[in-house]
């Protein structure tokens, strides 16, 4: 089965390819010749994932899925949330985003946060949504050189390391994206029977 992952993000693509079963041929937007930047103007993470997946299915008539992820910080009433990628501005700089968040939390005792990924699957015959959540906290400074985005400042519950310090395999086993992807994979396995 061919399935398009609606992303240009090479880091996300590598994470997902590492856990996708071998009988599924995973393609990126680049592989299908989609160079446009799909406007994510939804007010929720769920809406943004659906906007991307619906766009690809309609324009390219291919089975696809899209994800959107947000970091939700408890003391900031869920911010940056749907605006996580552009938290410090439209340049989408991970460093700037982390610096802004660390600055906003510098005097806060409550550093509880959660990562949430929503995957919207669009097949010719229907729609499905899968959600993965991992709870943790925001560290006081950056740690680790792996991962991407907010990984150097997010420490999942039960761990003394950030996502940027654990192996890619371990992160895939416990992360928000890994959990949502596992639901997607389980669904595709059921459909294949």
Alpha carbon 147 to its chain centroid, in Å, reads: 12
Please choose, from the candidates 53, 102, 65, the residue with its C-alpha nearest in 3D space to the C-alpha of residue 80.
102
- Nearest 5°: phi and psi at 90? -70, -10
Q: Which residues are catalytic?
A: 68
- Residues belonging to the chain: 193
Give the C-alpha separation, 34 to 30, whole Å.
6
Adjacent-strand bridge partners of 113: 73, 136
Adjacent-strand bridge partners of 138: 154
DSSP state of 166: S
């Amino acid at each position: 089965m061919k399935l398009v992952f609606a992303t240009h993000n090479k880091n996300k693509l590598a994470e997902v390819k590492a856990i996708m079963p071998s009988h599924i041929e995973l393609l990126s937007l680049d592989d299908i010749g989609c160079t446009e930047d799909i406007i994510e103007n939804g007010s929720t993470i769920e809406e943004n994932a659906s906007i991307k997946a619906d766009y690809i299915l309609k324009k390219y008539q291919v089975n696809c899925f899209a994800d959107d992820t947000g970091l939700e910080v408890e003391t900031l009433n869920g911010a940056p949330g749907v605006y996580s990628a552009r938290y410090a501005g439209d340049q989408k700089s991970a460093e700037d985003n982390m610096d802004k968040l660390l600055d906003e939390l510098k005097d806060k005792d409550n550093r509880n946060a959660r990562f949430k990924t929503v995957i919207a699957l669009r097949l010719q015959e229907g729609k499905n949504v899968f959600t993965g959540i991992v709870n943790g906290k925001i560290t006081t400074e950056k740690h680790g050189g792996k991962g991407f985005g907010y990984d150097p400042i997010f420490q999942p519950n039960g761990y003394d390391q950030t996502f940027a310090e654990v192996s890619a395999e371990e992160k895939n086993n416990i992360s928000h994206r890994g959990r949502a992807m596992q639901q997607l994979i389980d669904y595709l396995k059921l459909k294949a029977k």
